[in-house]
């Protein structure tokens, strides 16, 4: 067990390189299992969620090597189509392996993921689409048993919500489907585009990724070399930290286009941006300004993953900000923790937070309840007076590589301490 301790009140200055995207590498690792070849994946972040995906790959028979930020997956001898509950439970998004296993074996047995910290997270859209593509699915003792005895078939699938995971699972299942698969109301996130680019390098023919209608047809599939896109949510973590603590930092390896939904919001709060190719400079001095209304939406709207991070900024802004979260039903668990740090926030109807900005936040002992909520507490702590102790930091390690080293390199007073086991 470890905690993070932050002594707030230091401006951030300096330069950091942005890590590769967690939400991109996970479905690409799953896809690599279905190629039957060797994939060389660059810019893979070192995260516990990535290690959980690698453990699943090894369990089903892939040979996986990591060399720094490059992961090499050889799936030529894959032989397992069953993922035990213990591995599935490590990471909820491992449900994306379902589509990959069906493409590779025409069958799969995985445990049904339950809800998680941020909400119920059903997978009805995934299962409905896979059934339409020819899969019979039964559930027994918490395990999903899936078979497509006649193979998978390309179909027209309309999602009633542009679910990221469902779009990915359909794309993966389509790797081995007969005929064209068309997804209408597909998720448009940059991570979907990255998955399509990797799959096209593997021999598939996917058009429309990044738009609402994606057309997929298979081909002769092999492994491929690919570089994972930069992590747009970690980029917004840096923006929020600068807005809270003040300062001027340079972030290398950013994709400006992916940040288009968040930049205007941080600009309204007082951040000043300068982009030069793949480099972003962000500065903020003085108290942030309130943002009247912020709504989380599917891409290209403001990401739900950046909501907690922005709330840390709004907590010390001048004026009242309203934050509406309708993507996940349980994504305000950081609110009581921010309140311990002096924030004035009330939640109405479970999905609207009224944030009355206070002049100063102060240090407190707080608990990370989920990944982005935990990072938001650290961001708030960099701009708070006194010492903050953050518990349950394994949530942060799921998605932020070398979190305290990076913030420390920017001048924050932050360290990780191991707790003695009783």
* Residues designated catalytic: 116
Interacting span for ligand UD1 (CB under 6 A) from 59-67, 122-130, 222-230, 270-278:
122-130
Q: Report 79-108 residues binding ligand UD1 (CB under 6 A).
A: 93
Distance CA 169, CA 260 (A): 26
Tell me if 125 contacts ligand UD1 by CB under 6 A. Answer: yes
Q: Rule CB under 6 A: which of 156-185 touch ligand UD1?
A: 161, 163-166
Nearer to ligand UD1, 163 or 375 (CB): 163
- Which H helix or E strand runs over 165? helix 164-173
3-state secondary structure of 205: strand
Evaluated on CA atoms 342, 343, 347, 351, the torsion sign reads: negative
Given a contact cutoff of 8 angstroms between Cβ atoms, the answer to whether 302 and 295 are in contact is: yes
| DSSP conformation class of 229 | P
Per the DSSP assignment, residues forming a β-bridge with 3 are 417
Among residues 1, 15, 124, 219, the one that binds ligand UD1 under rule CB under 6 A: 124
CB atoms within 10 A of CB 53: 30
- 120 vs 350, which CB is nearer to ligand UD1? 120
Contact residue for ligand UD1 among 43, 75, 111, 304 (CB under 6 A): 304
Answer for which of 57, 123, 202, 361 binds ligand UD1 (CB under 6 A) is 123
Do residues 109 and 146 make contact, with C-beta atoms less than 8 angstroms apart? yes
Part in contact with ligand UD1 (CB under 6 A); list of ranges 37-45, 118-126, 201-209, 355-363: 118-126
Site string for ligand UD1, 39-58 (x = CB under 6 A): --------------------
Instruction: Give the separation between CA 348 and CA 351, rounded to whole angstroms.
Output: 6
Of 31 and 414, the one with the shorter C-beta distance to ligand UD1 is: 31
- Cis, peptide link before residue 141, omega less than 30° from 0: no
Q: Which position among 266, 328, 332, 403 is part of the footprint of ligand UD1 (CB under 6 A)?
A: 328
Contact segment (CB under 6 A) with ligand UD1 among 212-220, 239-247, 285-293, 300-308 equals: 300-308
Site residue total, ligand UD1 (CB under 6 A)? 23
Give the helix/strand (H/E) hosting 249.
strand 247-252
CB pairs under 8 A, 24+ apart, for 120-124? 120/329, 120/330, 121/92, 121/328, 123/95, 123/165, 123/166
| Segment interacting with ligand UD1 (CB under 6 A) among 75-83, 113-121, 252-260, 410-418 | 113-121
Asked whether position 23 contacts ligand UD1 by CB under 6 A, the answer is yes
Measured CA to CA in angstroms, residue 281 lies from 114, 246, 337, 352 at distances of 40, 13, 30, 31
Q: Which of 104, 109, 121, 395 binds ligand UD1 (CB under 6 A)?
A: 121
Q: Is the peptide bond before 300 cis (omega within 30 degrees of 0)?
A: yes
Q: 27: Cβ–Cβ under 8 A, 6 or more apart, which residues?
A: 93, 96, 168, 171, 172, 191, 195
Task: Using the minimum distance from each CB to ligand UD1, give the nearer residue, 110 or 414.
Answer: 110
Residue least distant from ligand UD1 (Cβ): 165
Q: How many CB atoms lie within 10 A of CB 168?
A: 29
Question: Between residues 72 and 129, which has the closer beta carbon with respect to ligand UD1?
Answer: 129
Question: Does 198 help bind ligand UD1 (rule: CB under 6 A)?
Answer: no
Q: Kindly tell me which of 95 and 239 has the beta carbon lying closer to ligand UD1.
A: 95
The one among 12, 16, 26, 353 contacting ligand UD1 by CB under 6 A? 26
* Close Cβ partners of 220 (under 8 Å, ≥ 6 residues apart): 203
Q: How far apart are CA 341 and CA 339, in angstroms?
A: 5
Question: Bridge partners of 283?
Answer: 248, 272
Q: For ligand UD1, give the closer residue by CB, 12 or 57.
A: 57
**Segment interacting with ligand UD1 (CB under 6 A) among 64-72, 124-132, 276-284, 352-360:** 124-132
Which positions touch ligand UD1 (CB under 6 A)?
23, 26, 93, 119-126, 161, 163-166, 187, 191, 303-305, 327-328
């Amino acid at each position: 067990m470890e905690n993070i301790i932050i002594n707030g009140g230091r401006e951030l200055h300096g330069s950091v390189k942005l890590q590769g995207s967690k939400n991109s590498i996970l479905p690409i690792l799953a896809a690599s299992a279905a190629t039957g070849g060797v994939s060389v994946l660059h810019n893979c972040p070192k995260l516990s969620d990535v290690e959980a995906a690698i453990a699943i790959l090894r369990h089903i028979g892939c040979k996986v090597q990591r060399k720094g930020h490059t992961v090499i997956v050889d799936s030529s001898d894959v032989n397992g189509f069953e993922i035990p509950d213990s591995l599935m439970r490590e990471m909820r998004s491992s449900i994306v392996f379902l589509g990959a296993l069906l493409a590779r074996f025409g069958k799969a047995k995985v445990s049904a993921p339950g809800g998680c910290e941020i909400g119920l997270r059903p997978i009805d859209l995934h299962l409905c689409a896979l059934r339409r593509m020819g899969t019979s699915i039964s559930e027994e003792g918490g395990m999903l048993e899936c078979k497509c005895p006649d193979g998978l078939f390309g179909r027209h699938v309309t999602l009633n919500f542009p679910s990221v995971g469902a779009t990915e699972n359909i794309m993966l299942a389509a790797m081995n489907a007969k005929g064209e698969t068309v997804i209408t109301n597909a998720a448009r996130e940059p991570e979907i585009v990255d998955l399509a680019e990797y799959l096209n390098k593997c021999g598939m023919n996917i058009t429309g990724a990044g738009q609402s209608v994606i057309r997929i047809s298979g081909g002769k599939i092999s492994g491929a070399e690919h570089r994972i896109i930069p992590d747009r949510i970690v980029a917004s973590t840096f923006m929020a930290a600068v807005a809270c603590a003040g300062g001027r930092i340079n972030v290398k390896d950013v994709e400006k286009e992916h940040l288009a939904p968040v930049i205007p919001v941080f600009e309204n709060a007082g951040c000043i941006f300068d982009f030069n190719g793949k480099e972003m400079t962000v500065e903020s001095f003085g108290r942030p300004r309130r943002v009247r209304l912020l709504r989380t939406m599917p891409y290209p709207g403001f990401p739900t993953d950046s909501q907690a991070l922005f709330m840390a900024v709004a907590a010390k802004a001048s004026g009242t900000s309203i934050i509406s979260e309708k993507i996940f039903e349980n994504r305000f668990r950081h609110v009581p923790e921010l309140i311990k740090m002096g924030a004035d926030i009330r939640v109405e109807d479970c999905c609207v937070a009224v944030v009355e900005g206070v002049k100063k936040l102060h240090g407190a002992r707080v608990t990370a309840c989920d990944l982005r909520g935990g990072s938001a507490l650290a961001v708030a702590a960099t701009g708070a007076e006194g010492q903050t102790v953050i518990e349950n930091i394994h949530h942060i390690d799921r998605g932020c590589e070398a979190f305290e080293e990076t913030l420390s390199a920017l001048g924050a007073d932050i360290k990780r301490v191991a707790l003695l086991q009783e």
